Amino acid sequence: MKKILLVYNPVSGHAAFKNRLDAVIENFQRRGILLSVYRTCAGDNSNFVDSVKIFQPEGVIAAGGDGTLHAVINWLKKNSLDLPVGIINSGTSNDFAAHLNLDDEKIFDAVAAGRTRPADLGLVNGGEYFINVASAGVFTSIAHEVDSRLKNFLGKSAYYLRGLGELKNFKAVPLDITADGQKFSVDAFLFLVLNSPSVAGFKKFSDAAQIDDGKLDLLVLKKCSATALINLAKKILAGGSVQSDENIFSLQAATFEIKTSAELTSDLDGEEGDNLPLKIETIRHAIEIFC
């Protein structure tokens, strides 16, 4: 019987995954898969490694949002645990799962069949991995500031409502960017380093981003007028790519160094990351994803 470790976040999304837990176990069990369940906590999760070593699973399923997937990826990579990862979306947002069009039935069948595909990861300052996006600038603090109760009640709308309150505080910062050795300078409101084209609930934010091409995609929102910002927001809300917009600076590279004279804290998959400067490397095919 195949063994899989299910990692779930009890407060992710509407804190409702526990109500689905029995159905998830039944679906895996019906496919000949034995689950061991690991419940994440807000503090020390060092027991995760012990759980893997004792149970010796053939894969790990992350049930939660972007933050839960981010945590699982880092626990695995930082402890040299080479296991494929599946995703059950039960969080406020899981952009990586959305890009792969993953639903529960697809995951159940993929795990049972051992069906995976490789995915790249980003590595920031040699320490922290991200699977979907690294960013900094206006809006990037919102995910850390929105109260968890508000997120659970309103979902993604909580981020957008909080973001409206930040419009009056828009301030451009000077960015010095080195991409595969080429140097650029841009006055910017925000930058995103993407692995997938799905960001903030929008599935086609970038035309070029692919999860397995050995490169990451940089999108920089340049300093622009309020009218230009509104027009760009309309394009995003309509589901279009922003890559060709005149107020976006974009390029692909395997490595980035991003510096600024301003004080900026990065965001990695919705979790607070290092302060700038950042050195970002693409780790090609660093992990296998059940899909």
In CATH, what number is assigned to the domain containing residue 103?
3.40.50.10330
Query: Residue holding tokens 């009218």?
Result: 227
**Statement to judge: residues 58 and 190 lie in one domain:** no
**Statement to judge: residues 98 and 174 lie in one domain:** no
**Statement to judge: residues 168 and 263 lie in one domain:** yes
**Statement to judge: residues 144 and 249 lie in one domain:** yes
Residue 123 lies in a domain: no
Which domain range does residue 68 map to? 2-114
Look at residue 30 and give its three-state secondary structure: helix
**pLDDT tens track for 124-162:** 999 999 999 999 997 665 554 544 443 444 344 444 444
| The pLDDT value given to residue 168 | 58
In CATH, what number is assigned to the domain containing residue 162?
2.60.200.40
**Statement to judge: residues 191 and 217 lie in one domain:** yes
Residue 205 lies in a domain: yes
Residue 290 lies in a domain: no
Average pLDDT on 66-71 reads: 93
Instruction: Among 114, 147, 171, identify where a domain stops.
Output: 114
Give the helix/strand (H/E) hosting 72. helix 66-78
Half-sphere exposure of 207 (CA within 13 A, CB side): 9
Confidence of residue 50 (pLDDT cuts 50, 70, 90): very high
**Residues designated as active site:** 271
Helix residue ranges, H only, 79-103: 95-99
Q: Is 235 exposed, middle or buried (0-12, 13-18, 19+ CB in 10 A)?
A: middle
**Statement to judge: residues 134 and 262 lie in one domain:** yes
The pTM of this model reads: 0.89
